[in-house]
Amino acid sequence: MTERKTIPNFFIVGAAKAGTTSLYHYLKSHPQVFFSPIKEPNYFASDIRVEDFCTTYRMNTFLDVDTYFRDQPLKEIQLSFVKDHNQYLSLFDESSNEKIVGECSTSYLYSSEAANQIKRYNPEARIVIVLRNPVERTFSHYQMALRYGHTNLNFRKAIDKDLKQKKKGWGISELFIELSMYEEQIKRYLELFPADQLKILYFDDLKERPVDLLDELTTFLGINPIENLSGEKYNVGSIPRFKKLNTLVARSGIREIVKKSLGPKPVDTLKKTFYKKGNLPELRPDERRFLNSLFKEDVLAVSKLLDRDLGHWID
């Protein structure tokens, strides 16, 4: 077996629905950066058990890892759950002399094990965390759950149902609120990684001043600035035109079958027919007040932890 010398030294760990996909795409085209062909391999989130996934999540997630690694060269896919060490290392076989070699698994911020696992694997690794107003992140997460058929309830009913669910976890429940509670998640990384290896970024900065934020990020990574930033938006919100049909499709596994059978262009055409952008549901004032009350204590704790006033998140 050929000795593998390249190991990842860079991880975008979350938060989910906070602009990590945009960062991934902006950096992916950089000549000094190599990313895993599986954007989110989730390897270091060892506490996430595929066996426990709910039916809808399982049916809409690519889990046939062994087949994936038999098909060379490796194709680019969004997400899977790689458990085998040699398979994980092979994700970086095509890297050459890039200074930054990494991946982008948003489960790593939520996972109670990932920070420790990454630290043991590569103590010199650089970590990026992107934070978003927890109210906005939660609502964006809800829109994503609507899109993928994980719920067809209105926002407040979906939140209440998820809060009351007895069995919780990544791929088991939605974690609408839990993923927006940042204090404990951030602490795990602050306690393990020195300041020069850990970068906290903010979704608002990515949205309002992307060039400045990316200059800050490339400086942190020690690579050349990004030239000719496209400004393209990635993972833009959309919702299904037919909610009940969308839920049925999600639970049947038809979506994954169609993806494999038709290829990217026909799938994109179907998406435009099946989903609508614009005129998305908006967060009502009473719903915002409800979320503010849930997140207030955590936001104040994060403000203190990071020495940054984040009070505007819950005003």
pLDDT digits (tens, 9 = 90+) for 255-314: 555 555 555 556 556 555 555 666 677 899 999 999 999 999 999 999 999 999 999 999
What pTM value is reported for the model?
Answer: 0.87
Question: For residue 33, what is the enclosing H or E element?
Answer: strand 33-35
Taking each helix axis from N to C end, the angle separating 243-252 and 254-262, rounded to the nearest 10 degrees, works out to 80
In a domain, 296, yes or no: yes
Which CATH number do you get for residue 120? 3.40.50.300
User: Which are the contacts of 244, defined by CB distance < 8 A and separation ≥ 6?
Assistant: 152
In a domain, 64, yes or no: yes
In a domain, 2, yes or no: no
Question: Tell me: the pLDDT tens digits for 55-114?
Answer: 999 998 999 999 999 999 999 999 999 999 999 999 999 999 999 999 999 999 999 999
In a domain, 120, yes or no: yes
What total number of domains does the chain contain? 1
In a domain, 145, yes or no: yes
Instruction: Classify residue 167 as exposed, middle or buried by CB count within 10 Å of its CB (0-12, 13-18, 19+).
Output: exposed
In a domain, 210, yes or no: yes
In a domain, 292, yes or no: yes
**Domain interval for residue 204:** 10-314
Q: Give the confidence band of 227 by pLDDT, cuts at 50, 70, 90.
A: confident
Beta pairing partners, 202: 131
User: Which are the contacts of 206, defined by CB distance < 8 A and separation ≥ 6?
Assistant: 19, 22, 23, 130, 213
Residue 152 has which token pair? 């067809």
- pLDDT at res. 265: 57
Q: Give the confidence band of 24 by pLDDT, cuts at 50, 70, 90.
A: very high
Residue type, 202: Y
In a domain, 62, yes or no: yes
pLDDT at residue 248 above 90?
A: no
Q: What is the mean pLDDT of residues 2-25?
A: 89
- pLDDT at res. 186: 98
Q: Give the confidence band of 220 by pLDDT, cuts at 50, 70, 90.
A: very high
Nearest to 14 by CA among 225, 220, 175, 122: 175
